[in-house]
């Protein structure tokens, strides 16, 4: 059991609050640099696609946003499940913290996908399997947030929203495999595919930089929101007051 003491310490609000406070900047700085380099490489340096022309460049925002929409809901659903099963309040706090971040990236994914679809498909929207399931994902995010806000009691909000989050997890693999399971207007994977990426290095490297940069940005925002969520739940925690007192005495 001694090997898992770190896990129980991490579940402690003071420990997690302090850890998130240290980590967010370590995530944020490389995130900004990688996003800047990736977007410059994709939007400026990379050559135009031989079929899509310059319209393909939206992939450097769209693809990372799509990835984070799924990652965000996976973190949300797993954290909510842990909180529901083991009654770990910090897990519920993490789920509540990442929900609006994941919803924002899902919305960005849908908007950029629609902008790409207009020149490619001749319409901003088509009831394609992946587009439809991604829209359902946004509704699941919004439903989770709305359900949480409908309860005044945090514990009841945690339990009710956790059940909804777990139900929504079913949609994550559906989105990922939709282009393989059904006839789809949406193109398949161009990076993680048998035989290697279908993109030249001049296009692929900026895309990978954007993926990593956006992922680190997601982590940084999650740390900031988790700290805010912990403070909201603790309501004048003595450990925070003691920490502020110590900090003030050192000044």
**What is the predicted pLDDT for the residue at 117?**
87
Helix, strand, coil distribution of the chain in percent, nearest 5: 80, 0, 20
Average pLDDT over every residue of 169-175: 95
**What is the predicted pLDDT for the residue at 65?**
97
Fold (CATH) for 22-246? 1.20.120
In the block, residue with structure tokens 């770190």:
6
The answer to whether residue 250 scores a pLDDT higher than 60 is no
CA distance 240 to 251: 17
- Percentage of the residues of the chain whose pLDDT score is greater than 90: 62
Average pLDDT over every residue of 193-220: 86
Average pLDDT over every residue of 96-105: 98
> What band does 120 get if pLDDT is binned at 50, 70 and 90?
confident
Give domain limits for the chain: 22-246
CA distance 196 to 32: 28
R_g (Cα) of the chain, nearest Å: 20
> What band does 247 get if pLDDT is binned at 50, 70 and 90?
very low
DSSP summary character for residue 50: T
CA distance 224 to 150: 24
240, 231 Cβ separation under 8 angstroms: yes
CA distance 113 to 145: 24
**What is the predicted pLDDT for the residue at 11?**
73
The answer to whether residue 169 scores a pLDDT higher than 90 is yes
């Amino acid at each position: 059991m001694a090997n898992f003491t770190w896990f129980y310490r991490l579940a402690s609000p003071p420990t997690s609050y302090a850890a998130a406070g240290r980590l967010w900047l370590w995530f944020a700085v490389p995130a900004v640099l990688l996003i800047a380099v990736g977007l410059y490489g994709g939007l400026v340096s990379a050559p135009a696609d031989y079929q899509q022309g310059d319209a393909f460049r939206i992939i450097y925002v769209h693809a990372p946003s799509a990835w984070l929409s799924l990652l965000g809901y996976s973190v949300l659903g797993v954290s909510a499940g842990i909180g529901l099963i083991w009654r770990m309040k910090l897990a519920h706090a993490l789920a509540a913290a990442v929900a609006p971040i994941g919803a924002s990236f899902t919305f960005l994914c849908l908007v950029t996908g629609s902008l790409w679809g207009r020149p490619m498909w001749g319409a901003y929207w088509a009831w394609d399997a992946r587009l439809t399931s991604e829209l359902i994902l946004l509704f699941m995010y919004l439903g989770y947030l709305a359900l949480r806000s409908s309860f005044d009691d945090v514990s009841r909000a945690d339990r009710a929203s956790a059940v909804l989050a777990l139900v929504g997890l079913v949609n994550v693999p559906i989105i990922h495999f939709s282009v393989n399971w059904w006839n789809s207007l949406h193109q398949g994977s161009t990076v993680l595919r048998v035989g290697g990426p279908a993109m030249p290095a001049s296009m692929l490297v900026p895309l990978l930089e954007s993926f990593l940069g956006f992922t680190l940005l997601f982590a940084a925002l999650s740390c900031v929101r988790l700290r805010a969520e912990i403070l909201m739940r603790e309501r004048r925690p003595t450990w925070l007051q003691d920490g502020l007192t110590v900090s003030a005495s050192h000044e």
